């Protein structure tokens, strides 16, 4: 590799890192990861969320979240894991997986599921998810409950809604 190529590679890596940090700097405070953590893995989740028309806790009919089913892809588009639930589970292709507890959400515009911060439970299995402390869901697109009738006539109906989001996995430094 020539110095010219090395310089271009270094510049590209610096620009990517700068862009990544700039995007994270714009993240609402509620869903920012605490200091003392560093990015371990960045993925794009592409999949669907299932909702069911049923009686909610308040006694009214409505679309109730039932769970996600998404591929977790690397920046080159290759699948590196999956996201499913309940319970919400992020699983790497190596078999390691984490669940977690939602700490906070932040709105992300009409038609998009909220941004999210999750504190990870200890990983099951050794691999990519080992040591993950937090998971952020950012840059959400779609995924909200459908805007169609949900009443006694539709009780038990399901709706599958597509979505995409960045899932950033963090580990303690």
Domain count, the chain: 1
Instruction: Give strand pairing partners of 99.
Output: 89
Decide which of 9 and 122 is more confident: 122
Q: What is the pLDDT of residue 26?
A: 84
Helix (H) or strand (E) holding 15, with range, is: helix 3-25
At residue 3 the predicted structure's pLDDT band, cuts being 50, 70 and 90, is very low
The answer to whether the bond into 98 is cis (omega within 30° of 0) is no
| Residue 137: pLDDT band with limits 50, 70, 90 | very high
- Across-strand partners of 54? 62
First to last CA, the chain: 32
| Element at 103 (helix H, strand E) | strand 97-106
Domain membership of residue 40 as a residue range? 3-172
Q: The tokens 């006539």 sit on which residue?
A: 153
17-21, 70-74, 94-98, 169-173: least confident range: 17-21
Residue 104 has pLDDT above 60, yes or no: yes
Average pLDDT, the chain: 89
pTM, to two decimals: 0.84
**Cα(142)–Cα(136) distance, rounded to whole angstroms?**
17
Q: Are 97 and 124 in contact (CB under 8 A)?
A: yes
151 by Cβ neighbours in 10 Å (0-12 / 13-18 / 19+) ranks as exposed
> Does 158 score more than 70 pLDDT?
yes
Q: Over the stretch 39-91, which tens digit does the pLDDT of each residue have?
A: 999 999 999 999 999 999 999 999 999 999 999 999 999 999 999 999 999 99
What is d(CA 158, CA 54) in angstroms, rounded to the nearest whole number? 9
């Amino acid at each position: 590799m020539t110095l010219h190529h090395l310089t271009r590679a270094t510049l590209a890596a610096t620009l990517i890192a700068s862009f990544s940090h700039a995007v994270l700097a714009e993240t609402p405070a509620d869903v920012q990861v605490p200091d003392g953590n560093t990015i371990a893995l960045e993925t794009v989740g592409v999949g669907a969320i299932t909702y069911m028309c049923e009686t909610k806790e308040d006694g009214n009919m409505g679309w109730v979240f039932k769970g996600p089913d998404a591929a977790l892809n690397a920046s080159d588009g290759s699948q590196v894991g999956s996201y499913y639930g309940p319970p919400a589970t992020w699983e790497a292709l190596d078999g390691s997986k984490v669940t977690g507890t939602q700490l906070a959400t932040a709105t992300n515009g009409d038609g998009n599921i909220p941004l999210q911060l999750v504190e990870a439970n200890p990983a099951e299995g050794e691999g990519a998810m080992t040591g993950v402390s937090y998971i952020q869901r950012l840059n959400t697109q779609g995924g909200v409950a459908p805007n169609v009738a949900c009443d006694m006539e539709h009780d038990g109906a399901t709706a599958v809604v597509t979505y995409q989001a960045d899932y950033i996995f963090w580990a303690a430094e």
